[in-house]
Amino acid sequence: MKIFPAIDLKDGCAVRLYKGDFSNMTVFSDNPVAVAQSFKQSGAKNIHLVDLDGAREGKPVNSSVIEEIVRECGLFAEIGGGIRNAKRIDDYLSLGVGRIILGTSALENPDFLKGCVKDYGDKIAVGIDAKDGFVATRGWLEVTNVPSVDFAKKMRDTGVETIVYTDISRDGTLSGANTLIYEVLNKIEGLNVIASGGVSFIEDIKVLKNIGVYGAVLGKALYMKKLDLFEAVKIAEE
C-alpha cells in the first residue's frame, strides 16, 4: 500500500479543514515546500496536493506553489483542485506531476473525462468526495443526489483506474477512517482505491492494508503529530 501525505493549499499556505468547512480552517505552515521536504525526509515517496482555492473557483490558484513543491522535492505527486481543461493537465504533467485528480469536472462533464482517460490513461484519477454517501462537488460546497459507490463503478466503467475517495464526515476530525466503505469500494474489480479522510492511527493503516486498498492519504494526523509518517510508510510497504 502506498502512503500519500497531504498538503492542502489555501492562499499559498498548508492548511487543514474540518469536515471540508472553509470557515473551520487551521493554517499549519506558510512554507508548503518545507512541509513537503519534511515528508520526504520521513520516508515518503508520494505526495497528495490539493488546490483548495482552485476547487472553489474552478481554476488553478496555487499552481506556482505546486510547481515549486514538485520541482524541489522529487516525490511522485498527485494533484487535484480546479483542473477543468486539457491545457492545465498538460501544464502540470510537463512539470513532472505523476497523476491528475479530476473532481467536479468528472461528474459534470463526462465527455471531458472520457477524453482525458483516452489521452492520458493512468495519469488521470477521479476524486470522489462523499457526504452521507452522496457525491459532493465544487470544493465540497455542493452535495449531489449521485450515490458515491455507484459513481465509483461508473468511473471504472469509463476506464478510470484510480479513485481518491474522501469521506467528508471524517476528514480533519482525527476520528479514524471509515473502513467499511473501503471494504465495499475495494470489491469493485479493476479499480485502485486511495482512502482519504480521517486516517489517523497506525491501526487505520493496518486495516486499510489488510482490506487491500491501493493507498491512503494522511493529513491532519501528521500535522498534529498523532501519526508518525516513518512508521506509517514502513507498515504500508512491508
Domain CATH number, residue 229: 3.20.20.70
Q: What is the pTM of this model?
A: 0.94
Active-site choice (51, 53, 129, 204): 129
Is there a catalytic annotation at residue 122? no
* Domain limits for position 168: 2-237
Cβ count within 10 A of residue 187: 12
Number of domains in the chain: 1
Is there a catalytic annotation at residue 8? yes
Which residue, among 117, 32, 26, 109, has the nearest Cα to 77 in the 3D structure?
32
Active-site choice (8, 53, 171, 204): 8
Give, for all 238 residues of the chain, the pLDDT tens digit.
Answer: 999 999 999 999 999 888 777 888 899 999 999 999 999 999 999 999 999 998 888 888 999 999 999 999 999 999 999 898 999 999 999 999 999 999 988 999 999 999 999 999 999 999 999 999 999 887 666 889 999 999 999 999 999 999 999 998 888 778 889 999 999 999 999 999 999 999 999 999 999 999 999 999 999 999 999 999 999 999 999 8
DSSP 51-83: EHHHHHHTS-SSHHHHHHHHHHH--EEEEESS-
